[in-house]
Amino acid sequence: MSHRPIGILAILFALCAQPASGADAIFPTASRIGLVPAAGMTPSRAFPGFEDAGRKVVFLFAELPAHAYPDTLKSMRESGRSMPGVSEIKREVLLTKSGAAHMISGDQTVNDAPSRKWILVTWNSNYDFAAMVTAIVPKDAAADYPDARVREILASLSLRGDVPNDEVLSSLPFRVAETGAFKFARPVSVGRAVLLTDAEQSLSETLSQPQILVSIAPVAPVEAPDRPRFSQQLLTNLPGLKDVQMTFSEPLRIAGLPAHEIRLSGKDAKTGTAVTVVQWVRFGGGHIVRLVGLSPNDQWTDSFARFRRIRDGLEFR
């Protein structure tokens, strides 16, 4: 994700007071961001957050790395002056259940519907992420979601730390029956990607510990001759690594469907520690299931066995 200040909010706009309620916040499955929704709002199945599908009202959640928080605030200050296609821009600080939050709102046409949009960002030093909530209310729904009601919902914003592993894994559209004895399952993209790791923090500053990313993504059918090249392209420009070389590339089958395995050698760009990467890509069903495991070389034998247990324990629904 780019951390250029203006880009963060510009992309979000191109897409799509005091806390008043004493009710407990509701957290969508595997989300570390929650709030007290209005009647008619339910956790969305299409994106992280809540929606009132009948009125086309959305409250979209996003987690940002904590280090991106200053750039995001800078973007909000600059965007508060002017933004193409957005009028009646207002900047303010809102007190939420998780502390003070910076908020910007404005009128914008979203999906051909005149709407009011709010973007709220907050960071609590107890957590390693910043929370962003984007609320969109079409003008046709303004009577049911007036400004005061939206502010009340946003003021109920609550954060939590580690999500139970079972809850994180249950968000995926397949079952991870074997976790390789990793301590933590962390959502990278709710319902799409999970990181299994022993690290205390969500994202390690270095690659000093074994970790494996399990993800799913829609993709057009990939013919057998193209699968090696397709798999290699997924590994282009791996962050945090240098001196990367491919050492192994071979087809196989995972849960009865064609797959491809690639192994890489490289070094941690920060520490110079020698590491090995393995990637498995399973094709079929209009999507790919991808596993990317990384381990320091001095732990590779044990780590590779753990990674394989996870791969072989996937159960597809």
Q: Tell me the per-residue pLDDT of 106-133, one tens digit each, with 9 for 90 and over.
A: 999 999 999 999 999 999 888 888 999 9
The residue type of 317 is R
CB 35 within 8 Å of CB 19 = no
| Residue 49: pLDDT over 90 | yes
**For the chain, what is the mean pLDDT?**
88
Please give the CATH number for the structural domain made up of 165-316: 3.40.1000.10
Burial of 91 (0-12, 13-18, 19+ CB in 10 A): middle
Q: How does pLDDT run across 156-197, given as a tens digit for each residue?
A: 999 998 888 999 898 888 889 999 999 988 888 778 889 999
* Rounded distance between C-alpha atoms, residue 75 and residue 69, angstroms: 10
Choose among 212, 220, 221: nearest CA to 193: 212
The highest-level CATH class for domain 5-159 is: alpha beta
pLDDT tens digits along 213-239: 999 999 999 999 999 999 999 999 888
Q: How many CB atoms lie within 10 A of CB 194?
A: 26
CB-CB contact of 91 with 9 (8 Å): no
E strands in the chain: 33-34, 42-43, 49-52, 57-65, 87-96, 99-110, 113-123, 129-138, 158-159, 174-176, 184-189, 193-197, 211-218, 241-254, 257-268, 274-284, 287-296, 314-316
- DSSP label of 7: H
SS3 state at 141: helix
Using CA atoms, how far apart are residues 56 and 16, in angstroms rounded to an integer? 11
Residue 151's pLDDT band (cuts 50, 70, 90): very high
Reply yes or no on whether the pLDDT at 73 is more than 90. no
- Is residue 299 within 8 Å of 290, Cβ to Cβ? no
If you average pLDDT over residues 237-245, what whole number do you get?
A: 91
Confidence of residue 83 (pLDDT cuts 50, 70, 90): confident
pLDDT band at 307 (very low <50, low <70, confident <90, very high): very high
Q: For residue 1, is pLDDT > 70?
A: no
* Residue intervals in the chain for CATH 3.40.1000.10: 5-159, 165-316
